[in-house]
Amino acid sequence: MESLTIYKPFTLYNKNGSLFAFDAFIKNKFLYLVMPLYKNYPAFNQIQVFVKNGSIILHDDIIKNRREATRILTYKIISQETSGHICAIIYNNRKFTVNQNNTNTEILFDNSYLSLTTLCKNDYELIQPFINYYIRNGVERFYIYYNGIITPDIKQNIVNICHKYDISMKKIIFIEWNFAYWHNDSLHSIHHAQLGQMHHALYFFGKSHSQYMIFCDLDEYFYIKNCTIENSLRKNELADTFCFHNSWAKLINKRISEYRNIEFPKKFLHSKTAHGYGWRSKCIHKVSSVKTIDIHKHDLYNNSNPLLCKKNVMFHFYNWTQLGRKIEDIENKHVQFLEIDIDS
């Protein structure tokens, strides 16, 4: 019987209990620190880094100092050893030790053409229609970040869902991402856990292991008429970002309340007009091309060639987890809904 793989980050905390790094890990002779960006963040020269049996130098200090902020510090390890590196990080009179052997790469990493990452909490039971839909569209690996503690009951419930609906757990990695969703000390935006999650997925799972990665929520479904997502990517491999315009969606039968037990509907209602790119939109990024990303659009590139196409739509089932949820944009603008049959 397949078992569920759960990754727990090696989180670094300051002496006062504040967060220093969401995760610290060693990969391909590089040390990575995926960090929040608070208002008084440390300069790189305030952080000392050492490696056992070798030397280590700063490779890049990626500071996303706009909109939703975050930071990725990377150091290059110079050593004759090919694996098993041990690094020490010293900041504010506190020492952290990062051991490469703590990461079981054989279980965690598997190469894929297209992968997907999402952050969830109580809505994790929506994985059944979500995973099956995206598998049909070519997704090979799912990196699902749980915004809390994965208790034994939650783990068993996930296993039961996968067994009931014939979902292969080999395709899924759950990450215990137990950090505050909002943080008042974050720069520019109080978004906190999600920016860490997205960039952790990009650098830990994405780069070197996937060509493209989808970034979306469990109630968001990317759709291209008469084409799977994978086929669209293969037809447009010069593009670095595929942009999907938000279209509000809801079921025709409003009495349905248990969404976790349904398949993705063939017929449903969607807003007559989709939003423009950048407003609640979501993206697929070529992971080798991007350095940082926003929640709703691209940000900093190594190579920049975003593909804006009106036929790329994201159906956003905004009340799947909260039947009474009100969206100001829908209420105030009197959004009109039309019925769609995706098989026609």
* 253 in the same domain as 196: yes
Average pLDDT, integer, range 156-173: 93
Residue 107 phi/psi, 5-degree rounding, is: -85, -40
pLDDT at 256 (0 to 100): 47
Residue type, 128: Q
In this predicted structure, the answer to whether residue 255 has a pLDDT above a threshold of 60 is no
Per-residue pLDDT, 343: 81
Mark whether 57 and 177 lie in a shared domain: no
Give the pLDDT confidence score for residue 106 in this predicted structure: 64
Q: Is the dihedral of CA 237, 292, 213, 111 positive or negative?
A: positive
Specify whether the CB–CB gap between 146 and 121 falls below 8 A: yes
Question: How would you class 73 by CB atoms within 10 Å of its CB: exposed for 0-12, middle for 13-18, buried for 19 or more?
Answer: buried
pLDDT in tens, 136-149: 999 999 999 999 99
Token pair 């349905």: residue:
256
% of the chain with per-residue pLDDT over 90: 72
Domain containing 40 equals 9-105
Q: Is residue 250 part of a domain?
A: yes
CA distances from 274 to 2, 132, 224, 245, 283 (A): 40, 25, 14, 6, 15
* Domain-located, residue 4: no
CA-based end-to-end distance of the chain: 39
Q: What is the CATH number of the domain that holds 276?
A: 3.90.550
Confidence class for position 334, pLDDT limits 50, 70, 90: confident
pLDDT confidence of residue 320: 81
CA 263 to each of CA 134, 150, 251: distance values in angstroms, whole numbers, following the listed order: 12, 25, 12
What is the total count of domains within the chain?
2
Q: Are residues 117 and 99 in the same domain?
A: no
**What tens digit of pLDDT does each residue of 96-107 get?**
999 987 665 667
Rg over CA atoms, the chain: 21
Q: Based on the domain organization, do 131 and 29 belong to the same domain?
A: no
pLDDT of residue 104: 55
Nearest-CA neighbor of 286 among 303, 309, 299?
A: 303
Clarify whether residues 179 and 289 are in a common domain: yes
User: Which run of H or of E encompasses 301?
Assistant: strand 298-301
What's the CA gap between 337 and 340, in Å, rounded? 10
**Which residues have C-beta within 8 Å of that of residue 29, sequence separation ≥ 6?**
76, 77, 79, 85
Q: Using the CB atoms, write b or e for 128-141: b if 16+ within 10 Å.
A: bbbbeebeebbbbb
Same domain, 19 and 121: no
pLDDT value, residue 210: 96
Pair of tokens at residue 310:
């009106």
User: What is the C-alpha to C-alpha distance for residues 241 and 342, in angstroms, rounded to an integer?
Assistant: 24
Cβ pair 93, 48 in contact under 8 A? no
Q: How large a percentage of the chain has pLDDT more than 70?
A: 94
pLDDT score of 276: 87
**Eight-class DSSP state of 289:** T
Q: Please say which residue of 78, 105, 132 terminates a domain.
A: 105
Where does the pLDDT of residue 31 fall: very low under 50, low under 70, confident under 90, or very high at 90 and above?
very high
294, 300 Cβ separation under 8 angstroms: no
Q: With 0-12 CB in 10 A as exposed, 13-18 as middle and 19+ as buried, what is 338?
A: exposed
Which domain-ending residue is among 105, 136, 157? Answer: 105
The mean pLDDT value of the chain amounts to 91
Same domain, 129 and 16: no
Residue-wise pLDDT tens digits, 194-248: 999 999 999 999 998 999 999 999 999 999 999 999 999 999 998 999 999 999 9
User: Of 54, 86, 105, which closes a domain?
Assistant: 105
Confidence of residue 265 (pLDDT cuts 50, 70, 90): confident
